[in-house]
Every structure is written in C-alpha cells, then in structure tokens.
Structure 1
Amino acid sequence: MLRLHAGDPMTARPGLVGDVRSIAVLRANAIGDYLLALPAIEAIERAYPEAAITLLGTPWHAEFLSGRPGPVDDVVALPPISGVSTSEPGYPVPDETCAELREREFDLAVQIHGGGRFSNPFLRSLGPRVTAGLRSPDAEELDRWVPYTYFQHETLRFLQVAELVGGLAERLEPRVAVTGRDRAELAESFGEPPSGLVALHPGATDPRRRWPVERFAEVADRLGRPVAVTGNSAEKDLVEATIAAMRGRGYPVIPVVGTLTLGGLAALYERCDVVVANDTGPRHLAAAVGTPTVAVYWCGNLINAGPLTRTAHRPLVSWTTRCPSCGVSGVDVVAERCEHDGTWVADVSVDDVTEQAEDLLKEYGNG
C-alpha cells in the first residue's frame, strides 16, 4: 500500500522525491538487524547518489561504520529512547536530540526500524520534508508507508520501504567490506589463523534460539578441523562449555571471547572456510563478509531473518511451534512470552548440521 503526500515532487521514476540532498535512515538496534536492512539502505543510495545518508543508530554503529566503505555517510548515535534506540521503558525523547537533528534539515527520513508506534512520531518530530516507512495499526501514518506485519522477511520488508521513495535494489544478501584496520586487529590479537579454520558460534541473545553446546562440539569433532569458538563477554560460559565438550581435540581450538571488536570478528570470519552458528548477528556478519554458513533456525525466525539464498548458506530448521516446557504457542504473535528459556531448536540433528557443513567445505574449503 503506497501512501503519497499530496505535495510530493515526483519524477519519471515512481516514488522518487525531487531535490534530495540529505537523508536520515532510522535503524537503531543490533548488528544482525543492521545487516538485514543494508540492501534497503543501498537501494536508497542508488536512487539518490548525490545525497548524504545519515544513519540514526547507536554507538556501536558509529564505531563499526567509521571509515568502512558502504552507503552510510555518517552516524548519529542516539541516546536511549524507549521504542527507538532501546527496548527499556522510561526513556523519553530528549529535546536537545530533536533540536540537533532538526538543524540538519533532512529532505527525506526513512523508518526501517519496526512497526512505528514510537519510531514514527520520533521521525516526524525531526521535521523532514518527506517521511517514509513502516506502520502497524497502532502507529502514526508517515507521508508514505507500507503495512507492518510480523511474519515477513525483514530484508524484503525494508526493500518495500525503499521502493516507496524510488529505491533500486541491487542485491538481496548484504555485503560488508573488511578493512585493513580489521585485519590488523585480528593479527595483533591472534596472529595468523590456521588454514582450514571453522568457526562455531554457540550463543544467541534469546536462549530459546540456542542449539545445545554439546552438539556444536560434536560437529567440531566430526569435521576435525582447526576451530575458533566465538562469543561476546556475556557468552563466555557457552564458549567454555562448547570447548569442554569436544572429544577429539586432534585439532587446534581457539576461544574468541570478547577480545575482538565487530570489525576484528569480521576479519576472523573472513578467514574461515565455514561458520556454524545459531540464528544470531555473527551469522549475518559471517555471511556478509562472504563466508559460507550453516545455522540452526527456529521456523518463525527463519521467515523473518533467514538467509535468502542457499548456495553458500544452509539453514537447518526446527519446526517446534510450542514451548517444550509449557506448550504456549510461539507462532501466535499476540501471545505472552512464557517464562521458560529452554531451547526450541533441539530437534535439529548433529547429522544434518554436519552434512551441510561438509558439503560447503567440499565446495569452498581450503584446508
């Protein structure tokens, strides 16, 4: 559904806004969320090659994107704002933030952040000439909008928004450049990674998305290659448990826990032959630097965030639709989340994950 403001200047290409020099894009969450939105941001850049694109993000965006080739020209790291840059309640929009952003006089502001209950009023408060984005039934309208429905792939959802303003899609899967700074950080921390390296990432923000660590360990044992086990500082126990469960140990094992920035992690994944992971941001990062991936997905998450291609990316799908502990539905979007944090993806087998990893290693592996 295309909603056009009556006064929008249009050109021959449907949706294109005239005389755009500055564009704000709101996407203020985690690394996987940013990467899912990257094809849409690139589509907007292609439509407005002379305009400067400002990402309204968070501090990690500013650090990660600084000096990195891509469609974003600069980043405004937003303070905590409930429903915009944090999920925590109690953080209103600071007046000074709105004032500073209004001074930039954005010609176009694009919301590819969510349903818009909080983000659409925030975007409108910045005073852009034209707004575009997503809208759930309880959200304010923007000048141009498409309906937000939960079960839709995020990348395709955001490309619909880009299309509202004349965005031209070039690719569906995101790509991220690895810089010399990233590679230097990896070399300083770990030296030269061994040939034939495989990475395991047993963590995930939502514990229900975590495949058991013993199964990651068994995959490593079966592959028999050098292994890096990655995780952030909060995932140290998962990394240690994965390594402890490995039986073969006839191969080098490198724990990588909170020691690399996202850029350094990108450089590590670039050196891997395959990454085996849960549905999590590092899986998206590995794919974005061109590394084949095998990932364990819960079925609902696969719809929204799975890889869109299958040549180098192999998702293994859990079809569990109810909590294994209490039976509450996971596919009812209005159901309350139950209190249980047990895995929902235990029905994915080690055999299936290993088979896909071995297939990718035959095609892409160097070790």
Structure 2
Amino acid sequence: MSRVLVARQDNLGDVLLAGPCLRAVATQASHVTLLAGPHGRAAGELLPGVDEVLTWTAPWIDPAPPPVTAEDTGEFVALIRAKSFDRALILTSFHQSPLPLALLLRQAGVPWIGAISEDYPGSLLDLRHRVGGDPPEAVRMLSLAEAAGYALPPDDHGALALRRPLPPSTRLTGGGPYVVVHPAASVPARQPSAGWSHRVVRALAAEGHRVLVTGAPGEAQLTACVAGTSAVNLGGRTSLAELAAVLSGAQVVVAPNTGPAHLAAAAGTPVVSLFAPVVPASRWAPYGVPVVLLGDQRAPCRDSRARVCPVPGHPCLEEIDPAEVCKAVAELGATVPPRVSSLL
C-alpha cells in the first residue's frame, strides 16, 4: 500500500471527470490525495476515494494565472516533500503539459510519477502514457490509472459518482417531481443567452413541469432573469454539495457544457446537454448517464476552444428551438404531474 498524489488542477467539471481514475487508485493506495486548483477543490471534496484535498494554483493552467515566484513554488515543493508521497499521477487535458508539475514533484522528492504526455519527458516521468483516438475525458484519465497498475473493482460501474449521503434538499426543492435548468457556463462561448434560457423555462412550465433554476452566487441576477415567474430561482442559494443534492433529485437537468452538467452526471441524473462545439462533445459531454445532445456540432466555431463566441448571434445554441428541449426532457423520462380539474 502507498500514499498517492493525483493532480487535476483546473475546473469543477474536470475534477468530477477524474472520479473513476481516483477510485481506481484508491483500490490499492493506503491514502489518496487530490491536488486541485482553487476552481476545482469543492468538487474534489465530493469524490469517493479521496482522503485529502490540497489546493495550489498552477500558473500554466489557471485562466487567471498568478506570477511565477521562487517563494510560491518553493512553498509548494516544501509542502509536497513533507507529505512523503510514494507515487503521483498527473491528470491534464490534451492541451496542457504535465511536465511543469512533474519537475516540481521531482524537486519535492516524489520517486515515481506518471502522466499522459506527448512531449519528451526526459527523467521527469517514470510512466509516459499515450492515448489514441478521442475517448471521453473520464475514460482517458482512467486509462492512465490502468497503465500505472490500478483498476476499478468489478462492482464499480465506471461512471462518475459522488460521496453519499448528500445534504437534505427538500427545503430548497419542495415536494414533487421537478426539472432543473442551469443556464450559466464558465465561459461565454458555451452559455446561451438569458433570454433564450428564459424561453426554455417558460416552455417547460407551459407543459406542466415544475422548474428549478440553479446557479452560483455570482449568477443570481442571471438566474432571476431566467426563472422569471415561471420557475423557482435557487441562484446563489446552494453550496456545491447542496447543488449536487438538488441535481440528484431532479428528473432531468438542462445545462450547457459546464461543471454542473458533470455534477448532474455524477449524481446519476439524465442531462439535456446544450453543447457549443468549441470543444468536442465526444470528449466533454456528460458521461455515464442518459444524455440528449442539442446544438449544431458542425458550427464554424467547432474545435476552436474559443472563450467568446466568434459567430454573430451565437447560432449553435440560440437557434435551438425550446420545443426541442421539451422533447428531449420527455425522452429522458421526465413526467408531468396530472392536472387536477376543478368541478364546476
């Protein structure tokens, strides 16, 4: 048995997608530490198999990177050295390099390091793993654990998962079935307009669904606009664990390509994925649950990794008919409570 560090230092959804890899490592390691960035820490705390979460902002990954200083990297190296890890796995997206972190881990005395790397690693890596094709990100990361000798047990479904039990959520959701609409995304290119999302909420409500609109504290103005008078506005009212509980209780979640879509998948809830093709859906669509993918996957922005939509009018999302969303919600099993007719 050993002490293993697993690093995934970017956003909420990326950390959630690392869940199967972390569970595989936990089957053989005596202690699993997740190294996360500030945007992903809260997700790491929800993952089965994780004993400890460390946070450090990687200047080569964070979208608002801090300056590189000898003091900061020195403190990080000292922290890792004090933890006496036996092994480390570095998880990165295809466009990120694991080598800067590998160098710091070597300086911290970590004796064995594995990562997926297209670049020549020299003596920085003991395992240089390569992945062919374009598999889902969760599968890609799990393959690194497997190459390092870790495997999920036979009774593990291999999908995303959350640490249970989740907090009670009835005070937020009320009673009865409901559908969640989560309108925000981490970058504008992946997010439909507030007006379009409001039309979706109204269309779902008109069909008889009880709709809850969710969002982070900084998105409260957006969620209020989207909810209007047709839905319950939960924007800014939940911790991440409470949001997970709300999503877990939903019949279906409607969301763009963002962390809460992966949180819904980890909770086991079907997702209507409003997917702008700036990154490939084959890799980044919600994993392990029933999904209906909406959005023009052949739009001019395809695979551009644009943070702001380069096409006027954002047609890949804005041209989705709200009726298509309602149809997808029904296809994924959401039911409408029967209306009670009053007797005259």
Partner SS for 2:114: strand
Structure-1 residue corresponding to 2:22 = 41
CA shift in 2, pair 1:154/1:175, >3 Å: same
Amino acid at match of 2:142: L
In the alignment, the residues of structure 1 paired with residue 43 and residue 287 of structure 2 have an alpha-carbon distance, to the nearest angstrom, of 24
- Equivalent residue in structure 2 for 1:221, among 205, 209, 214: 205
Task: State how many pairs are aligned.
Answer: 324
- Equivalent residue in structure 2 for 1:158, among 141, 151, 160: 141
Amino acid at match of 1:361: G
TM superposition shift of 1:294: 1.2
In the alignment, the residues of structure 2 paired with residue 191 and residue 316 of structure 1 have an alpha-carbon distance, to the nearest angstrom, of 28
Which 10-residue stretch deviates more, 24-33 or 312-321?
A: 312-321
Structure-2 residue corresponding to 1:179 = 165
Which 10-residue stretch deviates more, 213-222 or 37-46?
A: 213-222
Structure-1 residue corresponding to 2:341 = none
TM superposition shift of 1:74: 0.9
Structure-2 residue corresponding to 1:242 = 226
Q: Could you list the runs of 5+ residues in structure 2 that have no partner in the other structure? A: 339-344
TM superposition shift of 1:242: 1.3
Which 10-residue stretch deviates more, 91-100 or 24-33?
A: 91-100
Q: Is residue 90 from structure 1 mapped to residue 72 from structure 2 by the alignment?
A: no
Structure-2 residue corresponding to 1:128 = 110
Q: Could you list the runs of 5+ residues in structure 1 that have no partner in the other structure? A: 1-19, 324-329
- Equivalent residue in structure 2 for 1:303, among 282, 298, 301: 282
In the alignment, the residues of structure 1 paired with residue 324 and residue 241 of structure 2 have an alpha-carbon distance, to the nearest angstrom, of 31
Quote the RMSD (CA, aligned, Å): 3.1
Partner SS for 2:226: helix
Q: Percent identity?
A: 24
TM superposition shift of 1:60: 6.5
Deviation above 4 Å: which 4+ runs of structure 1?
59-66, 84-87, 138-141, 148-152, 335-342, 364-367
CA shift in 2, pair 1:220/1:161, >3 Å: same
Structure-1 residue corresponding to 2:268 = 290
Residues 190-233 of structure 1, C-alpha deviations (whole Å, 9 max, x = no match): 35623111110011011111233244224423432221101112
Q: Is residue 258 from structure 1 mapped to residue 240 from structure 2 by the alignment?
A: no
In the alignment, the residues of structure 2 paired with residue 89 and residue 341 of structure 1 have an alpha-carbon distance, to the nearest angstrom, of 33
In the alignment, the residues of structure 2 paired with residue 347 and residue 138 of structure 1 have an alpha-carbon distance, to the nearest angstrom, of 44
CA shift in 2, pair 1:64/1:321, >3 Å: closer
In the alignment, the residues of structure 1 paired with residue 67 and residue 118 of structure 2 have an alpha-carbon distance, to the nearest angstrom, of 22
- Counterpart contact for 1:307–1:315, Cα < 8 Å: no
CA shift in 2, pair 1:240/1:342, >3 Å: farther
Which 10-residue stretch deviates more, 99-108 or 233-242?
A: 233-242
In the alignment, the residues of structure 1 paired with residue 158 and residue 117 of structure 2 have an alpha-carbon distance, to the nearest angstrom, of 22
- Equivalent residue in structure 2 for 1:57, among 33, 36, 42: 36
Partner SS for 2:272: strand
- Counterpart contact for 2:272–2:291, Cα < 8 Å: yes
In the alignment, the residues of structure 2 paired with residue 88 and residue 242 of structure 1 have an alpha-carbon distance, to the nearest angstrom, of 32
Query: Superposed, which structure 2 residues align to 1:331-342 within 5 Å?
Result: 331=303
TM-score, normalization by structure 2:
0.82
Amino acid at match of 1:24: L
TM-score, normalization by structure 1:
0.77
Residues 124-152 of structure 1, C-alpha deviations (whole Å, 9 max, x = no match): 33321210012133766511022478954
- Counterpart contact for 2:247–2:264, Cα < 8 Å: yes
CA shift in 2, pair 1:365/1:138, >3 Å: farther
In the alignment, the residues of structure 2 paired with residue 342 and residue 120 of structure 1 have an alpha-carbon distance, to the nearest angstrom, of 42
Structure-2 residue corresponding to 1:4 = none
Partner SS for 1:318: coil
TM superposition shift of 1:287: 1.7
